[in-house]
Chain A
Amino acid sequence: MNLDVDFMLSDLPTVFAALPSTLLLSLDSMFWALVFALICGGAQLARIPVLDKVTLVINTFIKGIPLVVQLLFCYYAVPYAVKWFDALVGRTYDPRHLPYFGAAVLALALNFGAYITDVVISSTRAVDRGQWESAYACGMTRFQALRRVVAPQVIVISLPNMTNYFIWLLKGTSLASIVNVTEMLTTARLSASDGYQFLEAYIDAAIIYWIVCAVIEWASGRLYRSAGRYLVAPNGATAQ
């Protein structure tokens, strides 16, 4: 089997140089996904009438549609959305600078936001009712109890699941290569198209994804163990 190892080595830096755009896309999407998840999760936890059912329906729908379909939908919708918006605001429509990156962020954020909503809800429910009650007994308002006692614990509890979804999101950014967004996979494909060394370029990309995911998982594990030290008694018990 003849693998062009020289090309693989020389291409590695080229593909690696696109890692920042992959990370940017991932972090941007994760941020908006969290915003979306906090709104939906908050609505369902606080049992806000109408909104809690509506968000549940939206999330269920999103979870049943492939990411590819969502990405393509946002991609094809971009020209129309921009035209409509430009007409509203009074700008001239410029077909050369369409926000395809933003469209990909939207699709990724909605897709993962739907899943992360469940993490928000289950992590919040995992906080012992007694923590809320003793905060109330001290005279705190619901908001004070949430901000000072419950939310910090929710963040720590949700860390393992959030990391899993973030890694999944990072891998999902590779699909953005289908919709005109420059990230690692697009770069890998472009670098190989001259000499048709696609396999080598893709193996390079795979290696970089692999290492990045492993690092994120390790870092998150360290963070969880140190931040979560107050959750576990020295003998390992987690119950009160």
Chain B
Amino acid sequence: MTELSASAEATPADAPVVSVRGLKKSFGGVEVIKDVSFEVSQGQVLSILGPSGSGKTTMLRCINALERPDSGLITVDGVSLDYGKGKPRYRDILAQRRKTAMVFQHYNLFKNKTVLHNVTEGLAVVQRKNKQEAEAIAGEALEAVGMSGLEDRFPMHLSGGQQQRVSIARALALNPSVILFDEPTSALDPERVNEVLRTMKDIASRGVTMIVVTHEIRFARAVSDTVIFMDGGRIVEKGAPDKVIDHPQTDRLREFLNSLASREFE
């Protein structure tokens, strides 16, 4: 059964920033990802759609090694981890994590640190920047997400939308090769979803490479360069957003698109 739909994929001129080949993962005997491969080029936005249980979140988490695949080759900006050849070294895992940054569904801001320190933490501890430099970068990142002025607040005292934007600033400040978004708006109240989606659109327009797992179809259609539809652990359709979303080739994708209630974006 072919995984790819008939639409054409973009052929990158340079080497891809993210490359996933032959990814397989099982949880307790159940195969959750059944041989997935794709690539993302510099500056591109890839959206991944699919019903729950399709394996899309697990796959995203394999890219920064929060989940360990059973087999597959994952390359991020030159750092390769080949899971088919036994357990990768911790040093390599760290190296790959330092090329990526993640925005979580439940924000996962460091509860015991202020907004500013949440953003500077990675810069200071991992990238060993000094305090001034870290705070300058953090300031810029917070401004980019529209959260300047709230540096001294603690995460628990912010709304979900504000927390998520700080989370995006934290990822941005690290200047990673790719930012991974794991259903970033699924835990938000409906009124807050737009502020985060707008922020993400801004980020995308700055040329940041992004992989976004989301249910927001309209966002995916408006902002992505490539859309992947996953179901049952496989990529079922893949291609340019207007092709995949407006002209679904398979029944599964058609059912999925119909079942999602449309939501206003912009």
Chain A positions within 8 Å of B, measured between CB atoms, are 128, 130-131, 133-141, 144, 148-149, 152-153, 156, 229-234, 240
Contacts and interface: CB of A to CB of B under 8 A. Distances in A.
23 contacts: A128-B108, A130-B104, A131-B108, A131-B111, A133-B108, A136-B64, A136-B97, A137-B97, A137-B180, A138-B97, A138-B126, A139-B127, A139-B174, A140-B125, A141-B94, A144-B126, A148-B110, A148-B121, A230-B112, A230-B156, A240-B107, A240-B160, A240-B163
Contact of A149 (B100, B112, B174): B112
B74 interface: no
B112 A140 contact: no
Interface of B: 64, 66, 94, 97-98, 100-102, 104, 106-113, 121-122, 125-127, 154-157, 160, 163, 167, 170, 174, 180, 187
Contacts of B94: 139, 141
B97 A139 contact: yes
Residue in B108, B154, B174 whose Cβ sees the most chain A Cβ within 10 Å: B108
Contacts of B97: 136-139
Contacts of B108: 128, 130-131, 133-134
A226 to B, nearest CB: 13
Contacts of B112: 149, 152-153, 156, 230
B121 A138 contact: yes
B71 to A, nearest CB: 22
B157 A233 contact: yes
A136 B111 contact: no
A190 to B, nearest CB: 48
B156 A137 contact: no
A109 to B, nearest CB: 29
Contacts of A137: 64, 66, 97, 100-102, 104, 180
Contacts of B125: 138, 140, 144, 148
Contacts of B106: 130, 240
A138 B101 contact: yes
A122 B127 CA distance: 32
Shortest Cβ-Cβ A-B pairs, 8 listed: A134-B108, A138-B122, A130-B108, A139-B98, A137-B102, A230-B154, A139-B126, A233-B156
B110 A134 contact: yes
Given A153-B112, A232-B156, 12 more contacts: A130-B104, A130-B108, A131-B111, A133-B108, A134-B108, A137-B66, A137-B102, A139-B97, A139-B174, A144-B125, A149-B121, A231-B111
Contacts of A128: 108
A181 B108 CA distance: 50
B156 A134 contact: no
Contacts of A136: 64, 66, 97
Contact of B170 (A138, A152, A156, A229): A138
Nearest to A227: B112
B118 to A, nearest CB: 9
A144 B124 CA distance: 11
Contacts of B155: 230
Nearest to B95: A139
A140 B126 contact: yes
Nearest to B61: A133
